[in-house]
A and B are shown apart, each in its own frame.
Chain A
Amino acid sequence: MDLNNLNKIRSVEAPPYLFTRILQKIEQAKVEQVSKPVFWLGSFSFMILLAVNTLVLFNTKTEPITTKNYAEYIQLTPNNTLYK
């Protein structure tokens, strides 16, 4: 086995279809890549939404649920009359 055998390797041409494939890959990468302003706008909107939800949750006063409250809420009637 001789290193001079490496001299027998000939240079070859790249396949002609390769450039089209490269352009396809570049286009694909562009589509997949989310632009920075869109990313920050999305993140900012999500944070605002989260903040509003948290504020609403903590600032809403709710009455404790009792059997009477719940019965009124689902409109339970204390008699057997179905139609008024």
Chain B
Amino acid sequence: MVFEELYNTYKKLVFNLALSYVQNVEDAEEITQDVFVSVHKSISSFNETAALSTWMYRIAINKSLDFLKAKKSKKRFAFLTSLFHDDSNELKHNPASFNHPGVLLEDKEALAALFNKINQLPDSQKTALILHKIEHKPQLVVAEIMDISPKAVESLIQRAKVNLSKKINGSEG
């Protein structure tokens, strides 16, 4: 498959998945670029036994999680720097703005609050929840993408739900 054809087939999938992780257009664009640069580099090593879409999902998930990790450590470093340079005009805490183009204005507040809690979940629970609840993938497909058993996926989603309700009740109570 020619690279451009591959891009046209999977650009929407990758961009929307990245949006689910970062809820921000600029960051999702950066992740999408990284994913396709990586795909271009490693297309020759693609294992034909796995589905191409599964492979694309895996790369997109890994790049999104790497991006979030890098952003978190950058934020931590900026916070430490601001402690020692109190005169700097930089914000000490700069939360990423919720800028999801797939969310209507009237749902923005509720979804921003929900994503705020989802973002606090462990990576595996967050990934299972995003693939199942946002990407609407059946648990079997989620299991294949995450390279775990369907039972493990079910357990991850269950734990994610429990953790979310705890966080929501904790913040409301």
Contacts and interface: CB of A to CB of B under 8 A. Distances in A.
Given A12-B102, A14-B11, A14-B15, A22 B134 contact: no
Interface residues of B, number: 33
A6 B37 contact: no
B33 A9 contact: no
A22 B37 contact: yes
B92 interface: no
Contacts of A22: 7, 32-33, 36-37, 40
A7 B25 CA distance: 19
A18 B16 contact: no
Interface of A: 1, 3, 5-15, 18-19, 21-22, 25-26, 29
Interface of B: 4, 7, 11-12, 14-16, 19-20, 25, 29, 32-33, 36-37, 40-41, 100-104, 107, 110-111, 113-114, 117, 133-134, 161, 164, 168
Given A9-B102, A14-B14, 10 more contacts: A1-B110, A10-B102, A10-B103, A10-B104, A11-B12, A12-B15, A12-B102, A14-B32, A21-B29, A29-B37
